[in-house]
Amino acid sequence: MSTKADIRTVALVTGASRGIGRAISLRLAESHDLVIVGRDEAKLSDTADSCTAAGASVQTIPVDVQDGLATAKALTGMHVDVLVNNAGVAVLKPFLDMTAEEWNRQVNVNVNALYHVTRAVLPGMVQRGRGHVCIIGSTAGRNTFVGGSCYSGTKHFVMGFAESLMLEVRDAGVGVSVITPGSVATELFPEGTNTAWMLEPENIADAVAFAVTAPPHMLVHRLEVRPLSPKRPRDSF
């Protein structure tokens, strides 16, 4: 007979086919069953195989979270205990060099998809009186840089959205966290960039796991994770 300790909670991770999303999925597979979402069905399947090997039951949902109707159809009513809004894109270039398509894609993925995904599964959390929404932000959400007019703007939105949502749903037993990484060695950076000093995706996955497994009465709302020094490669420690 199963006991409460045997029951694995369900985590949904967006952008799970690669990079930080894949690392988060693998980390949470140790303690959660998973619903993993992404556009690349083949890479999503590869992530699922690795998570299954780690002990999780995995459901894959190939959907573009920019598409509100498709996302609502795929996710509405699904039982989710932990939501990790990880999907994100960046086009780092001066404003006058940025196309409307590049601008809109960043807003659609980094901002609008937060509504589509969270709106689909949050009502169930509130109804059950428990749950956790974790959003991957960025230190660009509290600073600015040349070439970040859109990307930094979307990450500033994440910070405001996360805190407002936290205040709205905490009395219903739902926590909201935002993880704000510094530079992470992913495909975000152009080929040839020195990433040897940067954080690794697994570091962000550990931060997510820390936030979503905190005691029920404790909320880790904002967690900033940085490389120690851009002058020291990771393997020098």
CA distance to 19, 77, 226, per residue, from 197 (Å): 17, 42, 10
Give the tokens for residue 201. 């995706």
Residue 87 identity: A
Beta bridge partners of 147: none
- One-character DSSP codes across 49-93: HHHHHTT--EEEEE--TT-HHHHHHHHTT---SEEEE-------S
Quick check: 71 and 63 in contact, CB under 8 A?
A: yes
Active site residue 115: no
In the set 21, 38, 151, 162, the catalytic residue is 151
Active site residues: 151
